[in-house]
Amino acid sequence: MRTKLTLLFAVLALFHSSIWGNNLTISNMYLRGQNDAEGYKMIKMDVRWDNSWRTSTYESNHDAVWIFAKYRLLWQEGVWNHATISSTGHTLPSGAAVSVPSDGKGAFLYRDADGSGSVNFSDLQLRWNYTADGLNNTDSVEICVFGIEMVYIPQGNFFVGDGNSSSLGRFVSGTTTDTSFEITSEDAITIGNSSTSELWGTSTTGYSTIGDPGTLPAAFPKGYASFYVMKYEITQGQYRDFLNKLTRNQQGNRSLGITGLGNFINNATIPTYRNGIRLASEPGGSLPRVFDCDLNNNGVGNESDDGEHIACNYLSAFDLLAYLDWAGLRPMTELEFEKTCRGTRPHFPDEKAWGNTNVVAATGIQNSGASNEAPTNPTITNVNYGNAAAVQGPLRSGCFAGATTTREQAGATYYGVMEMSGNCWEYVVVVSTATGKGYTGKHGDGVLSDTGERNETNWPNRLGLKGGTWGSITLNAINISDRANTGGDYSTQRYNSTGGRGVRTAP
């Protein structure tokens, strides 16, 4: 979800809003209450989304929206900067709560009490500390607000590995081959096979390897501490909006190989494997290019059936890292992946994201590209897997979930996260490499390099893949604990099956 307005600090000029995600909207936005002495202004907005919840029993979690803003000085065409949100001073509508991390890169908005269903938070006002961003009281800027649906994963013990199963390279407890490993804190973990108190894997070679014995440092995010994870995989609409907030030079490395006007992924003249991102406008010179979604390939972008809600495939690891840095998020570790799926429950051999082995794969698509896109058998289908001839690509994010669907029917994880089995491979930071072990969970700062690369030096260049994809033809690929592709060298390559999502350590 992104909403844009143009303003002079003293006068509001205009705004507009748009929709993507699971009916997430940010609308009726304007600025008010400028305080010249303290250098802040209130960003007013209405925020609404469907299938929201908060529960204090069982899962003890809630969903949320990560709200962040970008601004540009009117004389700087195409140069967008990240806005700093204050830790205090917000005005909240009834029923809403807000949590802002110490770096001020955004705010988590969520219910303040238990409940479920649609939420409509009107007249939310977030305090923007514009002087912290180097702006003066009289500067003229354009500002754009974004929202990403998230899910809170609470602190707690959990297991990695699914015991005696077909999951390749699965985690085990030290000397065993069929006992899962329990993570009980964020303390350092010994990786080895000399004791059951050590973390080990069933493979020491190939793409499923556990790597060399050693230590997983305390700073590595293990999933024990609380964090937020994106409810859905990055959508094509989200990635389009990201591209349209980069400079022309930054777009060069992030535009999925698209260089020709009117072309799609890798300069194809038609959408491939259901990715409809297109180069829509070429202004020339140093001005940024403009991208849209045109899945129906009729030359008119961003129509209601142009696929902006479909999970974005063809992302390289570098593409994902850049998006997460820009959004103030961070990459997920493979341990956090298993925590998100399994929760605090014991392992179940060969379990999928929804907690059992019951699989009903999508065989076709109805309402293609629209906000209500669904599999042709929506009441029973719970995963996009199996390389179905009538699918051949990712489906709409959240397409299996509804107001009354069960966890299994929705294909949802223990905590309510969608499509972590199937649809797109998801990039994760792995424990098997030296650079992976060195990851400390630093968050993105909203800033990219001049060439469109993430600037977080602690983030690994090489990520692994988990979760399986629409094209997977073996069931173990969509197992929670399968590590068949965690040891590959995935960095700059783009595949028709790779996507992903991000996380953020809870404030």
DSSP letters of 437-454?
HT---PPP-S-B-TTS-B
CA 254, 259, 261: angle at the middle one, nearest 5?
125
Report which residue type is found at 8.
L
Helices then strands, each counted (H, E), the chain: 6, 26
Residues spanned by the domain of 104: 2-153
Answer whether residue 295 is part of any domain: no
Only one residue has tokens 């389009």, namely 240
Instruction: Give pLDDT, residue 2.
Output: 52
Domain co-membership, 42 together with 181 = no
332 and 413 part of one domain: yes
pLDDT at 47: 98
Region label for 470, one of left (φ > 0), alpha (ψ between -120 and 50) or beta (otherwise): alpha
Q: Which residues in the chain show pLDDT less than 70?
A: 1-22
In a domain, 131, yes or no: yes
Q: Are residues 351 and 462 in the same domain?
A: yes
Domain contains 299: no
Could you give the 3-state DSSP secondary structure of residue 225?
coil
- 3-state SS class at 353: coil
Query: Whole-angstrom Cα distance, residue 370 to residue 366?
Result: 9
Tokens of 399: 């397409």
Query: Are residues 70 and 140 both part of a single domain?
Result: yes
Q: Yes or no: say if 45 and 3 are a contact pair by the CB < 8 Å rule.
A: yes
Please tell me whether residues 206 and 136 are part of one structural domain: no
Q: Examine the domain organization and report whether 103 and 226 are in the same domain.
A: no
Separation of alpha carbons 96 and 489, rounded Å: 43
Residue where a domain stops, chosen among 121, 136, 153 = 153
Q: Is residue 289 part of a domain?
A: no
How many domains are contained in the chain? 2
For residue 403, the model assigns a pLDDT of 85
Task: Indicate if 341 and 392 belong to the same structural domain.
Answer: yes
* Closest by CA position to 181, among listed 148, 216, 207, 150: 216
End position of a domain, from candidates 153, 187, 219: 153
| CA distance linking residue 3 with residue 16, whole number of Å | 6
Helix H or strand E segment including 32 = strand 25-35
pLDDT at 8: 45
Same domain, 142 and 110: yes
User: Can you say whether residue 21 is alpha, beta or left, with left for phi > 0 and alpha for psi between -120 and 50 degrees?
Assistant: left
Asked if residue 388 belongs to a domain, the reply is yes
Same domain, 44 and 103: yes
Residues 133 and 180 in one domain: no
107 and 207 both lie in a single domain: no
Is residue 495 a part of any domain in this protein? yes
Tokens of 87: 């830790």
Residues sharing a CB contact under 8 Å with residue 405, sequence separation 6 or more, in sequence order? none
For residue 4, what pLDDT is reported?
53
Pair 203, 146 in one domain: no
The answer to the question of residue 262 being in a domain is no
* Last residue of one domain, picked from the residues 97, 122, 153: 153
pLDDT of residue 23: 84
Residue 363: exposure state from Cβ atoms within 10 A (0-12, 13-18, ≥19): middle
Looking at residue 19, its pLDDT comes to 39
**Residue 419 belongs to some domain of the structure:** yes
- Structure-token pair, residue 226: 């609380």
